[in-house]
Structure 1
């Protein structure tokens, strides 16, 4: 998958920089056009001449050393890259990338790239686990950067612990997998709902739920990485929507219904990850309600069941629903799938530690009309989203029409 791709390889100043030579060689052998960028510190461990010989391209170290007067090197490199790999990625470069600093060739170029970014950290275990480094990696992950986890082994400092640079073959495999994924939904349109809806009672009060939208955001990011054209209909959420995704902000269940119906016919995959209000106040007061006694009786009416309506109207779309349950998960998930004519239901027990609302992890079970497809243990929502989107992509490819896209 990497053959013919243009890859930027950023090498930074850690002892694992020597592995950059093997990584560069493997990328070239796989057919990639590799352009190496180095920090000054990296040149203390391995020479630019070594990387130039292996890559057969000029190696960039100095931001101001412009070889071609017709272009600005760091912008030209960024514009033509299909993938950027930082290996080894030190705590320093991770901090720079997370906070938008640009004071060397690697960080300056990375600030301009729009292609996928693959980061392979390598450092002492205590540095790797430091709250500042963890926070910086989380920032980058939220912006769409992908990580190749370091291995456990003998570190240069003498520790035997996590922090060792992943093997070059594993980094190349991760790059290949990324390109393979990037074609899985190429030309397909994915519509995702996320977050909770708000049903107004008066100008200062409303009914809502605990949904943060994090699972929907993770699914949108995963679909985007697979090459899909993604639209995210977002209610009340926390955090930032992933880059490169069209966001349609909504407030109420009715708003979400209208936004989804407007886009449903042209979608190939529709994922209803939002927690939509089942009921709304019959009367919405224009003025703030005043206290009138010890009790207040609120009359509610049903909202339109968006998922059920889509199940009735679908014509070739892969329709995926979510079910947040507190008991009899399998039973209620299968019942929901059949009643609402879904192709898949993704169910989770919100009472399980690490699988409820407002956390970065989840544990789900996936069902189709034949029953259980897969159970996933507690894992980061971003990792889980990639696995779920892989199931959906495979299902879409196996359908007679393959969706409504090209």
Structure 2
């Protein structure tokens, strides 16, 4: 143990790893600079007068082979746009995973729908189709599927359940750019799919998002209107049809997005190659990498691995502290060490003033979010190490990451202590 950095030993990672937080872990070039300069010089920074947003929408729709793409301000806005399009009644239910970002549940609550949490598969940590079906009630309107860590959920099973129960499927692809389930892109299975271009994503516009679909106005609402104040601008005048926010993307974001989209395959291929290499380097280390389902292509938003607490001489929190000291950029559990339903916003109904809406609505099913609703998710949040990943990692970085993990795990392994 004296060799661990936490105890004064040398760090396994000699210098700071490339990080999504700055240029060390993001790939920008003269193309993005030129695009931004073009927009600034034009003086047209809004989609109302500039061409970049509509160009970005067309390019993204073409990439995914869909009819409609609507650019928005961020990934949460994309999901909110999708739920507004669904137009649920207050107290209707939307099933989702508790292993995802809080931005996935905010749109559900904002539309006065009830989030119902299905458990996750213990291996992939994606939403479990069996648990989805167990949670369906007469009030269920949709299944919101997050492809967590960039790995595809079991879409064949999920779509079969949705068809059986006549449910809408919203795909949250914020972490899954160009991920494939079998031979089809994630985001092209459900009725609507949502993407994020936040700083840490595979391609970035700083913030930004996209909603894609092959349908429009099924629920009496134009998809584009759902992010534009319910405003049918195409017919002229001011005629706001329903309550909706203003989630416009700027021309500056769109200009960067167009150039980033051209490089997306490059970014994804680099992430996958470095993740596959780390998995090779971790062979023999007593960790369980979170890998994509067989027959799918995961794209590694995080590189995550599971620990077995029964095999460790210290808590997982101590392991993470030691890994951080060695230079690992990561944390325990996603979205944290508790699942999403135990966040105060959900568990304690911290929503609209003191009303507790939508949870306290008479029509709403009452769920005790303080209980262990999803035991597999609760264990995953306590036992999973998530490392930030980028397309800029090199072999030397991967060697050092593997050495750090091996060093810490071998030190804290119970078998090492008894040897």
Task: Please give the range of the TM-score, normalised by the shorter of the 2 chains.
Answer: under 0.3
Structure with the greater alpha carbon radius of gyration: 1
**TM-score normalized by the length of structure 1:** 0.28
Structure with more contact order per residue of length (Cα contacts < 8 Å, sep ≥ 6): 2
